[in-house]
A and B are shown apart, each in its own frame.
Chain A
Amino acid sequence: MKSLIKKIKKNGDKAERSQNAIEINNVSKSFFVPTKKKDTLVDYLKHPKNIFKKKSDGKLLVLDHVNFDVKKGEFLGIIGNNGSGKSTLLKLISGVYTPDRGEIIINGSLVPFLQLGVGFNPELSARDNIFLNGTILGMKKKEIEKEFAEIIKFAELERFIDLSLKNYSSGMRVRLAFSIAIRSKADIYVLDEVIAVGDANFHEKSFREFERLRNQGKTIILVTHSLGVVRNFCDRTALIDQGKVAKIGDPDEVVDFYEDLNRQRLSNPNLVNNKKR
């Protein structure tokens, strides 16, 4: 009987697995943090005793046994204070870093936007940069050629297409980058704070694009500090605090919890634990 239950559970796991876009299992990540400046050979010659001294270099545990799944077609928001490990988590999901422990399973193609306009070269024209950035985001040359007019149109840069990127205003640059980004073909999009850009008009347009992606069944992970966005757009929200998932679930509940937490900490600074070394 027990084994039967186990079996059913196992099959259930499998069924669930296929519905998950991302599975994060017990992921930990730490970085070496040199607490003082690195010694060169000359330093050792000046103070020979230091060779035998123990290194005071510390290991900073940035993520500590993080566990959660992201379902296919879900819009997941990730919130948390600065230095809580959000960006490291995104880099792990994007494959820029590898976890020390645990595993991350990605089902489907993933395009990360940790920064808009990756690989943009200010000396080159917008035209060249579209191809450069587009291929870095995993598009084929032919796909970019096909989407080219759309990209320019969405970015509202028809008149400036052969201008060097260094002559662009920062707003124009971001519009161009965003416009390329949303044309890239992927099942999963990982976004870091990218929506905090552009004027109100473009902001509005960006969110319509997010809606469009969501309606197409794409999975979106968004790291942001704007709690309003989280409440309005996300299906679920994860709060990362001191390297751990403090709470995950309904956006309103998680945001309320987060605001309470911060209020408590403000009134009682002792609650803030020092990070493990």
Chain B
Amino acid sequence: MVNNYFDLLGEFVKGDFKNRYKNSILGFLWMLLKPLAEFFIMYFVWNALWRTENQTTLFLLSGVIFWNYFNDGIMLGFQSLLNKSGIILQINFPREVVIFSATTVALINFVVTLVIILVFAMYTHTTFTWAGIGLAAFSLITLNILIITASFFLSIWGVIVKDVRHLVELGLRIGFWATPVMYDASLLSPRVQKVIKLNPLSYLLEGFRTGLIRGHEVTGADYLEILKLLGIILIFTVIGFLYFKKSVKRVAEFF
């Protein structure tokens, strides 16, 4: 029906950012300032507490920004239908645009923090390789698809049953520690490692981190690992999309 799909997506994303930084003196500069401040806080705290070396700091930071991206993406995607309920109740448009715009907002925020990390990595003389950059990008694209897939389900459930919100928040807390964000998975006991391996995020974080920090170690096997995961996720993406399209027709009755 609507042939202005991308215009609509663009307007939603633009509106979201404009709304957030409107009437502030620094405006869009906050997009850069906030992650930069967060970076320095983490950098100095870790340095003061544990005298972390730059390589360790980079390891932790890459984990933290990866996790924040996932966390934001899920929360925004989950709330996307609720946040646009005013429009959904008034007019019929392809509802999935709402999910894509929420995910795009999270992605844009992430890219800004990524730039900060990249500058820091260059400062610590990390050597980038094309294979590494490719693997990191591939992992992030897969993560993005994972977020969209989860949003297809969560956004609907969140409208129908309000309890889902608390479950999602709790799940994210558990997920943070079930993903090797703040620790090195290879240092864990083999049994715990097996559990961690059940978490798809651990593969994606591993791919992102290895590609970013240890680019020269990247092999074809690393790509294959992510590719397999992507295959599984895509099955759920298709199911999720069909489920979303079917359920969203009734969603206006639940607001």
Contact = CB atoms under 8 A, between A and B. Distances in A.
A141 B4 CA distance: 8
Interface of A: 31, 91, 94-98, 109, 111-112, 114-115, 118-119, 121, 123-124, 128, 131-132, 135-141, 164
B92 interface: yes
Nearest to A190: B91
A91 B249 CA distance: 12
A109 B92 CA distance: 12
Interface residues of B, number: 26
Interface stretch (B14-22, B51-59, B139-147, B176-184): B14-22
Given A136-B8, A136-B93, A140-B3, A124 B19 contact: yes
Chain A interface, DSSP helix/strand/loop, else mixed: loop
Interface of B: 1-4, 7-8, 10-11, 14-15, 18-19, 22-23, 86-93, 249-250, 252-253
Given A123-B19, A123-B23, A118 B253 contact: no
Given A123-B19, A140-B3, A140-B4, A132 B90 contact: no
Chain B interface, DSSP helix/strand/loop, else mixed: helix
Contacts of B4: 135, 138-141
Contacts of B23: 123
A98 B249 contact: yes
A96 B88 CA distance: 7
Contacts of A119: 86-87
Nearest to B89: A96
Contact of A112 (B8, B19, B90, B253): B90
A135 B7 contact: yes
Nearest to A98: B249
